[in-house]
Amino acid sequence: MKKNMGGMDRIIRFLVAAVVIALYYFEVIGGTLGYVLLGLSAVFLFTSFVSFCPLYTLVGLNTCKVKQ
């Protein structure tokens, strides 16, 4: 897998996932919406750790800076 996510994208995804997990933990969100958002958060965490987003590949987006 070739990296296609920049540092800012990774930070934003991580923060969004952390907020959703905290909201679920403190029972602000729950039910089906909570499970869907937790699943999305898991995807956000995984993609932020590996620096690769399959959706970016489909649309041809690359926010990772190229090393020269």
pLDDT band at 67 (very low <50, low <70, confident <90, very high): low
Model confidence over 15-55: pLDDT tens digits?
A: 999 999 999 999 999 999 999 999 999 999 999 999 999 99
Residue 34 lies in a domain: yes
Quote the distance between the C-alpha of residue 23 and its chain's center: 16
* Beta-carbon count within 10 A of 17 CB: 21
Distance CA 53, CA 6 (A): 11
Q: Is 48 part of a structural domain of the chain?
A: yes
- 30 is a domain residue: yes
* Number of Cα atoms under 13 Å in the Cβ half of residue 14: 11
**Is there a domain that residue 45 lies in?**
yes
The distance of Cα 33 from the centroid of its chain, to the nearest Å, equals: 17
The pLDDT assigned to 47 comes to: 95
Inside any domain, residue 44: yes
Q: How many domains does the chain have?
A: 1
5 domain residue, yes or no: no
Q: Which domain holds residue 40?
A: 18-53
The distance in angstroms from the start CA to the end CA of the chain is: 19
| 9 domain residue, yes or no | no
Please report which confidence band the pLDDT of residue 13 belongs to, taking 50, 70 and 90 as the band edges: very high
